Amino acid sequence: MKELIEQEILRQGYTILRWKETLKDGWGVQVEKDGFYTTLFADEVMYEILKKELRQKNNKSIELKPCPFCKGEAELIEKYNRFYEVQDVFVKCKECGARSVSVWNKNIEIARNLVTDMWNRRATDEV
């Protein structure tokens, strides 16, 4: 698991300085990126890895229409907001950066369905 966490940290562009154990938060990795130093906690990095894998599996079943502005490919973005304890879900165009509104909901399926329906709705669709 340590190797998987280090690979993800390096993939994000950080330089690993050292591992450290804290009494409150468990294992952390001191890192540096662009002259800034911080600690990334192993459980949070692992959570992001698992969430990304789950998102890739779930996104295969979600059909998104192309961007209404540039016809580029769209992707579903999911972020967990720890402060409000909700999922923040939105669709973003990979080409021009256009995006839908964010849907915040504790139920990820509801949030996915709402944002997907909004993105796929077009002015020419019948009501």
In angstroms, the CA 104 to CA 79 distance is 10
User: Which pLDDT value is given to residue 58?
Assistant: 61
Arithmetic mean of pLDDT, 8-22: 87
Fold of 63-120: N-terminal domain of TfIIb (2.20.25)
- Cβ within 8 Å of residue 15, ≥6 positions away: 31, 32, 33
What percent of the chain is helix, strand and coil (3-state, nearest 5)? Answer: 30, 35, 35
pLDDT band at 72; cut points 50, 70, 90: very high
Say if residue 116's pLDDT is above 80.
yes
Count other C-beta atoms under 10 Å from residue 79's C-beta.
Answer: 14
Say if residue 57's pLDDT is above 70.
no
In angstroms, the CA 78 to CA 86 distance is 10
Arithmetic mean of pLDDT, 39-46: 80
pTM given for the model:
0.53
Q: Where are the domains of the chain?
A: 2-54, 63-120
